[in-house]
Amino acid sequence: MKKQWKIAGKAGKAVVLALYFIFMVFPLYWMVITSLKPRNEIFALPLQYWPKHISFENYVQIFKISKFQIYLGNSLFISLVAAAIVLVVTILSGYVLARFSFRGASQLMLAFFITQMIPLFIGFSTLYMMMSRMGLLNKQASLILMYTVGLVPFCTIMLRGFFQRIPSSLEEAAMIDGCSRLSALWRVIIPVMMPGISATFIFAFVQNWNELFMAIMFIDNETSKTLPVAMNSFITKFDIDWGSMSAATVLSVIPTVILFAICQRFIVEGLTQGAVKG
């Protein structure tokens, strides 16, 4: 009896996962086959669910004419650097806010939380002036700075939650062994925190990866542009250049899919380690 239930459960699980997979992948599938259609077949009726002729002209177009390699590089650079800085800043702030209680701690958490409610554009012109005064306009540093700013509150909140679930006895033991607090944090706590840190890192990376508004406003230079801005240029007055757009969408998804696959390993490792003494 029990065994049959188990099999039914497994089958049910597989069905649910498969259905969800179809729901999620269909738009991507549509982008992929659109990107492989010759330009004059994209809007051909009846709709083609598989290209009649496979063509790579859209990819050639975005690399040869639109210089996508530059934008991909810029986006990777900015997203990774900003996500790395965010991790350093918020591992410290999240840890401190999880471990110590001090005056102003809860007010600070609230202040962080409230930042999430503020629509970006309020105060944007002031922010633009600040960037101008600091000489950061038209430099990628402006985006790295502002992406970091935007992510600090959320990542602090998230990481604090993960730190709270790890018993403080862990680093106390290490500190008795002679470690400083910082090295105890680095050598004992962080390895145990990998699921949370990976998830936070993915989150931070992805937020940076698809940010559009500030990237349009702060960067003028063709060679410093990011991927979302370049993709937005395919929207013209007449129509959306779906050939280029679909190819660019497919390319922009690849790094994230890889990132998820890599971070998966850390999440699994964290699982085995997370089980240490409760």
Partner 1 sequence: MRKATKWMALPMVTVLAVGSLSACSSSGTQKAADGGKAAPAKVNLKMIESLTSPARTEVIKKMIASFEAANPNIKVELISPPLEGADNKISTMLNAREDLDVLEVRDVTVKQFVTNKWIADLSSYTNAWSGYKDLNANAIAMANYINNTPYFIPYGLYEKMLFYRKDWFDAKGLTPPKTWDELYKDAKALTDPANNRFGYSFRGGSGADGYIVDLLRDFNGSNVNPDDAMFLKSGATIFSTPEAKQGLTMYANLYKDGSPKDSVNWAFAEQVQGFVSGTTAMLIQDPDTIDPVSQKLGQGTWATAPMPVGPTGISHYKVGAAGWGVTSYSKHPNEAWKLIEFLSSPEQNAIFTKTAGVIPIHNSASVDKSFTQGAYKPYIDMANDPAHFVSYKPETDYKGFGEWRKIVQQDMQAVLLNHLSIDDALKKWDAYWINEKKQGK
Partner 2 sequence: MKPFRLNRTQTFIFLSLLPAVLLVFGFTYFPILKGIDVAFRNYSLFNLTDVHYVGLDNFRAVMGTPQFGTILKNTALWVIISLVFQFAIGFLLALLMRKGFRGRGIYQGFVFYSWALSGFLIGIIFRWLFNGQIGVINDLLLNAGIITERIGFLSDPKWAMFSVIVANIWYGVAFFAIMLLAALQSVPSELYEAADIDGASGFSQLFNVTIPYIMPTILSTVALRVIWIFNFPDLIYGMTNGGPAGSTHILTTYMLDKIIFSGDYGQASAIGIICIIILLLFLVFYMFATKAEKAGDF
Asked if 124 is part of the footprint of partner 2 (rule: CB under 8 A), the reply reads yes
**Which region, judged by CB under 8 A, interacts with partner 2, from 52-60, 62-70, 120-128, 170-178?**
120-128
From the list partner 2, partner 1, none, pick the one residue 109 interacts with, judged by a Cβ distance below 5 to 8 Å according to partner type. Answer: partner 2
Residue in 8, 11, 60, 258 binding partner 2, rule: CB under 8 A: 258
Contact 120, 213 (CB under 8 A): yes
**Could you give phi then psi for residue 268, rounded to 5 degrees?**
-65, -45
Alpha-carbon distance of 237 to 239, in angstroms, equals 6
Q: Is 92 exposed, middle or buried (0-12, 13-18, 19+ CB in 10 A)?
A: middle
Closest C-alpha to 130, from 247, 251, 217: 217
Binding residues among 35-94 for partner 1 as defined by CB under 8 A: 40, 43, 45, 65-66, 70, 73-74, 76-77, 80-81, 83-84
Residues 6 or more apart whose CB falls under 8 angstroms from that of 275 comprise none
Kindly report the number of other CB atoms within 10 A of residue 145's CB atom.
18
Residue in 132, 169, 180, 264 binding partner 1, rule: CB under 8 A: 132
Asked if 173 is part of the footprint of partner 2 (rule: CB under 8 A), the reply reads no
Asked if 264 is part of the footprint of partner 2 (rule: CB under 8 A), the reply reads yes
Residue in 23, 40, 221, 236 binding partner 2, rule: CB under 8 A: 23
Kindly report the number of other CB atoms within 10 A of residue 244's CB atom.
23
Residues that bind partner 1 (CB under 8 A): 40, 43, 45, 65-66, 70, 73-74, 76-77, 80-81, 83-84, 124-125, 128-129, 132, 135, 137-140, 187, 190-191, 194, 198, 201, 213, 216-217, 220-224, 229, 232-241, 266, 269, 273
